[in-house]
Amino acid sequence: MARIDWSVLSGPRVSRRTLLTLAAGTGAAGYASRLAASAAPGPAPRFSRRTRAQGEPKTGGTLKLGYGISQIPNLDPAKVNLGIVAGELVPNLFSSLVQFDTELGVVPDLAETWTVSEDGLEYSFTLRDGLTFHNGDPLRAADIVYTYERNIDEAFASPHANKLARISAADTPDDLTVTFTLSEAFAPFLAVACSRGPGRALAPISQRAFEEMGEEQFDQTPVGCGPFAINAETADLSSGFELVAFDGWYGGRPFLDTIEVTIIAEPSSRISALEAGDVDMLDIVPPIGVAQIAENPDITLVQTPGTSWLGLAMNFARPPWDNPEARMAVAKAIDRDALIETALFGLATPGIGAIAPAFSWAYIAPDQTETPQAFNLEEAKALAETAGIAGAAPAIMGTTDDQRVREVLRGQLSEIGLDVQLEQLQQAAWNERWLAGDYDWIVNGSVADADPDDGHWNFFSAEGPWNTYGYVNDGVNELLIKTRSTSDQEERAALFQEAQRLVQQDIPHAFLYHTIDTTGFYNDVMGYVPIPELRYMESVWLDR
């Protein structure tokens, strides 16, 4: 169990256009990052780097967690397709074979050790002895294989099956050993298939619990093996639920007794709940409230570089958005700097593609390259005229969380003659229609990623589970297959960058921005370990 001191950001003035600079480093995945703020005048939030002294952890108490979503569609790791759920709830209910450290390096979780063959085709994991599920069932190697077989079953249709497609055999030499043989090398296998949270394809579930409960009930009250178990009697995925410390977790019982999760859909209501003390912590502090919260001496803010990207997706199945000139007119009409200042209070970085700043070994900053999607209103107007889209009234489907972004986009796109409509839904309805491809436009992207593979394959490969707008480019497909086949990081970076160049030209998304991961909590909440867009809560304790 982690019991460490950690650094937070809170103090010298930073610009409202907070910049992320990242440096490549070590770790199993070769990831390392640092956050740097550029000094500039203006009424900005205040952040400084300081080490917070913490005493001996105390056991007990309830953490009241405000959770920013309108509804949670489900909690089955094999089905979860929302990054916020994958990064902040799933890793507390489900451990996996490996997990991440603060630099996104891969470290042991359920697997105490593992080996990888020289050719990258065989992964052998040795599980910790004495593992159990929340229902008391022992967790053995056979449960990992059962989870694998369940998730590749076409009838089950897990969106994460693509991460397991190269496995040709799964064997259990004994109860504590599971070996996967791959038909061809898959470079991001550990990060995107085996990890706690983002790589949830192999997060083991209890077969007995799934079969006894049935799929529908398991979606709501799953049985995992993580540091916390869901209290089934409290479970309401539209309002909240209680997580209870799991005494049988391999790392030892978490310090907290319970985490009381309260769903608060509206961003300003989240801020009010934190300041009023109705919640002890916000999973994500909305940009609208960061400056306000930064002035509260009783609350700590923590920021880390984001692994996410967001863009405006235009559905190819709904003309005129099958026309690349129409899509490019939209992309060029978006002033990303103004969007970030107005909608996000400067708390994001402009996006030119799907390679996030946290993946510094592949990331290219906007000022280091040119993109055909760069803001140019005159060119946008000319393209709009050529494409004949003046007067079109596409609807941007969204939720309360992206309302400000959609409002700014509506205003900017009126400059090229579009009458953009705003369609607001509850999260579950949004999720259902997104997956069905039933929309004109959406602000969408990848969040809580383990590797750039997450944000590329799922959205831009022809078979990507979240490519619901109909994008197909054989060249991009070939590049993404190659990124999975080589373990050479420089080669992978070059392949992702070339894929980014092609999708910039094709405009499946008008790329918008990368978020900065910001969480906030009262000063008596101790032990939080910041990992980009993940919330591992077993180390948290209350100094009360």
- Whether residue 316 is contained in a domain is answered as yes
Which residues, including other chains, have CB under 8 Å from residue 424's CB and lie 6 or more apart? Answer: 398, 399, 400, 403
Number of H-type helices and E-type strands within the chain: 16, 22
Residues 208 and 316 in one domain: no
Contact status, residue 360 vs residue 493, Cβ threshold 8 Å:
no
203 with 317, same domain? Answer: no
Which pLDDT does position 21 carry in this prediction? Answer: 23
For 421, counting Cβ atoms within 10 Å of its Cβ (0-12 exposed, 13-18 middle, 19+ buried), the class is middle
- CATH number, domain of 149, equals 3.90.76.10
Could you tell me which residues are beta bridge partners of residue 229?
244
418 close to 510: Cβ distance less than 8 angstroms? no
Closest by CA position to 263, among listed 108, 542, 64: 64
CATH code, 317: 3.10.105.10
Write a three-state SS string for 306-319.
Answer: CCCEEEEEECCCCC
* 141: enclosing H helix or E strand: helix 141-152
Q: What beta strand segments (E) does 324-469 contain?
A: 348-350, 395-398, 421-424, 441-446
Instruction: Please report whether residue 539 resides in a domain.
Output: no
Q: Is the pTM of this model over 0.85?
A: yes
By C-alpha distance, which of 193, 176, 57 is closest to 128? 176
Domain boundary among 168, 194, 213: 213
The reply to whether 320 and 204 lie within a common domain is no
Please report how the helices 377-387 and 324-332 are oriented relative to each other, as an axis angle in degrees rounded to 10.
150
| 504 and 358 co-located in one domain | yes
Both 100 and 209 in a single domain? yes
Q: 96, 199 in Cβ contact below 8 A?
A: yes
Q: How many CA atoms lie within 13 A of 315 on its CB side?
A: 18
- The DSSP 8-state label assigned to residue 448 in this structure reads S
> 234: how many CB neighbours lie within 10 A of its CB?
16
Residue 329 shares a structural domain with residue 470 = yes
Beta pairing partners, 127: 111
Do 209 and 313 fall into the same domain?
A: no
Label each residue of 85-116 as H, E or C.
Answer: HHHHCHHHHCCCCEEECCCCCEEECCEEEEEE
**Residues 343 and 456 occupy one common structural domain:** yes
296 assigned to some structural domain: no
What's the pLDDT at 392? 98
Residues 6+ apart with CB under 8 A from 37: 9, 12, 14, 15, 18, 19, 47
The mean of the pLDDT values for the chain is 90
Note the pLDDT of residue 54. Answer: 76
What pLDDT is stored for residue 305 in this prediction?
87
Q: Which residue in the block uniquely carries the two structure tokens 């983002």?
A: 198
Q: What does the alpha-carbon distance between residue 110 and residue 251 come to, in Å, rounded to a whole number?
A: 10
What is the DSSP code (8-state) at residue 439? -
Angle, helices 267-275 vs 287-294, to 10°: value is 20
Q: Which residues pair with 348 in a beta bridge?
A: 515
Q: Encoding tokens for residue 316?
A: 């190819």
Last residue of a domain, which of 171, 196, 213?
213
Are 206 and 335 members of one domain? no
| Nearby residues of 276 by Cβ (< 8 Å), 6 or more positions away | none
pLDDT tens string 10-52: 222 222 222 222 222 222 222 222 222 222 222 233 332 333 5
For residues 365 and 497, the answer to whether their CB atoms sit within 8 Å is no
Question: Are residues 199 and 320 both part of a single domain?
Answer: no
Give the residue from 213, 240, 257 where a domain finishes: 213
User: Is residue 196 domain-resident?
Assistant: yes
- Predicted local distance difference test score (pLDDT) of residue 220: 96
User: Could you tell me if residue 247 is inside a domain?
Assistant: no
Whether residue 469 sits in one domain with residue 337: yes
SS3 assignment, position 230:
strand
Q: Are residues 346 and 459 in the same domain?
A: yes
* Structural domain boundaries enclosing 474: 309-516
Question: What's the number of domains the chain is made of?
Answer: 2
52 assigned to some structural domain? no
Q: What 3-state class would DSSP assign to 398?
A: strand
Per-residue pLDDT of the chain (544 residues; tens, 9 = 90+): 222 222 232 222 222 222 222 222 222 222 222 222 222 222 233 332 333 567 899 999 999 999 999 999 999 999 999 999 999 999 999 999 999 999 899 999 999 999 999 999 999 999 999 999 999 999 999 999 999 999 999 999 999 999 999 999 999 999 999 999 999 999 999 999 999 999 999 999 999 999 999 999 999 999 999 999 999 999 999 999 999 999 999 999 999 999 999 999 999 999 999 999 999 999 999 999 999 999 999 999 999 988 999 999 999 999 999 999 999 999 999 999 999 999 999 999 999 999 999 999 999 999 999 999 999 999 999 999 999 999 999 999 999 999 999 999 999 999 999 999 999 999 999 999 999 999 999 999 999 999 999 999 999 999 999 999 999 999 999 999 999 999 999 999 999 999 999 999 999 999 999 999 999 999 999 999 999 999 999 999 999 9
Res 12: pLDDT:
23
For helices 474-485 and 489-506, angle between their N-to-C axes, nearest 10 degrees = 160
d(CA 77, CA 89): 10
Q: How far is CA 260 from the centre of its chain?
A: 22
Q: What is the pLDDT of residue 522?
A: 98
The verdict on residue 36 lying in a domain is: no
Does some domain include residue 150? Answer: yes
Give the CB-side neighbour count of residue 543, counting CA atoms within 13 A: 13
Q: How far is CA 355 from CA 24, 331, 360, in A?
A: 14, 18, 9
- The closest alpha carbon to 313, from 466, 435, 403, 444, belongs to 444
Would you list the DSSP string of 373-397? TS--HHHHHHHHHHHT-TT---EEE
Which distant-in-sequence residues (6+ apart) come within 8 Å of 242 by Cβ?
Answer: 230, 231, 234, 258, 259, 260, 261
- The answer to whether the beta carbons of residues 446 and 351 sit under 8 Å apart is no
